[in-house]
Amino acid sequence: MKRLLTIIAAISLSISANAQALDIATCREMALKQNKQIAIAEAQTRGAELAVKEAKSNFLPNLSANALYIHNTEELEVSTPDLPIAQGISIPTMGIGIGLNNSFNANISLTQPLYTGGRIISGTKMAELGSEIYTINEQRQKDEVIIECDQAYWNCIMAIELAKVATKYKETLTSLLNDVSKAEKVGMKSKNDLLKIQVKLNEATLNEHRARNGIKVARMNLCRIIGLDLNCDITLTEGIEDHEVPDIRGNYLFNEIPEIAILHKRIDLQKESMRFTRSNFLPSAAAMVGYGYTNALTLKGTTPLTQTLLPEKERLINGASMSAFATLKIPIFHWGEGRNKIKQAKEEIKIAELELEHANDLINLNIQIALNRIDEALQLKNMSKSALTQAEENLRVSTNQYKAGMESLSDLLEAQTAWQKGYNDYICSCIEEQLAHLNYLKVTGQLWTKEY
């Protein structure tokens, strides 16, 4: 039996040694790498960056080539009337056949926009603003993942700490039960005291079991977020006392808060959209240079006196040519279409500005709420710590007095219960302080500007 217990203990230590040790920074990194929403946001950002390159390419000349080939075995036949050339002399009727079979044309052209009313410039700026919005949105998505990861991490820490308290409380009751059981056998304690302790011990056993189940659920949730198998064996290297509270004293820039930054970019985007709309109703000019080669048209004809004017296989058009020309387009009248579109774009700008004003008020309110939450969490932590110290001292005094026969068992059990509650409250207050500071960093945009 002793050997069996030794083997079981060795296996348990081996499993524990193979457990994956994680700190909060590692969990954040793993969560950011495996999150599907972040992968989507990163792909959108890359797409927006490519859109910027595409928009800038419109400043450059456009080089294109095309070719045409015709296969047509039928000929177009035309008859000409008698053509008089002198008194009593005329060219008799002649039949002409025009053939297109095996005709082809190939050319290459270079087109350069000269003036587009600012359309290309506005289009490029719109693409750049769109790329910046996607970049900010990607960082905002990372904030959400970090918040979710940290909450899961600290919930797991809280579950572990609460389980430790439950175990310690159970061990205290077990020790008390053993002492009272011995005293009851020699008649120094009543059977009623023994039963009271047994009831409390049963409750403590159930609470310990629930606390350990809470650890399993909390670990599975953390594994889900960081991309591990739900049943993966992990250990957390940081605890309540090991991890410092995030610093909130650093100054933050209000306009760099993600929600505010995006709204500013949207206002700029609407302004560029209005310029782009206006450019569609301004003059535009372009220049083009082309070079081509054409081989087409066969011509043959017959008269009563002659057989063939041109050989059947000789091409009427056969040669290369170069051309250059410029175009100018001036919109004149469109029944107020341009004016109405510009007015519509101005209304969109007003809407974006009103949304920004609304967001400013809301963000300021959320910042104050976050500060209040930090203040309340700190007060709660200090009160819980003081209450725990008092509960520990009260438990020590009650235990000594009970052993000396100066206090009832009910008072001792009440002191033990108060100690457990005080310890649980202190643990919860420490976790709330961490999450309150984290929430403040998110609301003020400091998670967004921090590298993870």
Bridge partners (DSSP) listed for residue 141: none
Residue 189 identity: K
What pLDDT score was predicted for residue 435? 93
Q: What percent of the chain has pLDDT over 70?
A: 83
Distance from C-alpha of 173 to C-alpha of 202, rounded to nearest angstrom: 10
Q: Is 52 helix (H, G, I), strand (E, B) or coil?
A: helix
Q: Mutual orientation of helices 119-185 and 191-226 as an angle, nearest 10°?
A: 160
Mind listing the pLDDT tens digit for each residue in 216-249?
999 999 999 999 999 999 999 887 776 677 666 6
Cβ contacts of residue 356 below 8 Å, gap of 6+? 260, 263, 264, 267
Q: Is 51 helix (H, G, I), strand (E, B) or coil?
A: helix
Distance from C-alpha of 27 to C-alpha of 223, rounded to nearest angstrom: 9
Domain chopping of the chain, boundaries: 22-60+116-282+338-443, 64-115+288-330
Mind listing the pLDDT tens digit for each residue in 87-101?
666 656 655 666 677
Domain 22-60+116-282+338-443 has CATH 1.20.1600.10: yes
Tell me the two tokens of residue 442.
């998110």
Mind listing the pLDDT tens digit for each residue in 192-222?
989 999 999 999 999 999 999 999 999 999 9
Helix (H), strand (E) counts: the chain: 8, 10
Residue range 27-46: mean pLDDT, rounded: 91
Cβ contacts of residue 278 below 8 Å, gap of 6+? 117, 118, 338, 342
Q: How many Å separate Cα 113 from the centre of its chain? A: 37
CB 411 within 8 A of CB 220: no
For the four alpha carbons of 407, 411, 416 and 419, in that order, the dihedral sign comes to negative
Distance from C-alpha of 109 to C-alpha of 67, rounded to nearest angstrom: 12
Distance from C-alpha of 225 to C-alpha of 214, rounded to nearest angstrom: 17
Mind listing the pLDDT tens digit for each residue in 44-91?
999 999 999 999 988 889 899 999 988 877 666 666 666 666 566 665
Residue 386 identity: S
Mind listing the pLDDT tens digit for each residue in 405-445?
898 999 999 999 999 999 999 999 999 999 999 999 999 98
Bridge partners (DSSP) listed for residue 65: 108
In the block, tokens 């998110």 appear at: 442
Residue 35 identity: N
Bridge partners (DSSP) listed for residue 287: 112, 326
List the one residue out of 244, 180, 116 whose CA is nearest residue 124.
Answer: 116
Q: CA–CA distance from 236 to each of 24, 155, 232, 339, 364 (Å)? A: 8, 12, 13, 64, 36
What pLDDT score was predicted for residue 98? 67
Model confidence at 313: pLDDT above 70: no
Cβ contacts of residue 222 below 8 Å, gap of 6+? 27, 149, 152, 153, 155, 156, 234
Distance from C-alpha of 366 to C-alpha of 374, rounded to nearest angstrom: 12
Bridge partners (DSSP) listed for residue 78: 96
C-alpha torsion 58→61→62→65, nearest 10: -170
Give phi and psi for 309, each to the nearest 5.
-80, -45
Q: Is 219 exposed, middle or buried (0-12, 13-18, 19+ CB in 10 A)?
A: buried
Model confidence at 271: pLDDT above 70: yes
Residue 379, CB half-sphere, CA atoms under 13 Å: how many? Answer: 6
Bridge partners (DSSP) listed for residue 91: 83
Cβ contacts of residue 396 below 8 Å, gap of 6+? none
Cβ contacts of residue 325 below 8 Å, gap of 6+? 287, 288
Of 4-13, 102-111, 239-248, 279-288, where does mean pLDDT reach its minimum?
4-13
Q: Is 116 helix (H, G, I), strand (E, B) or coil?
A: coil
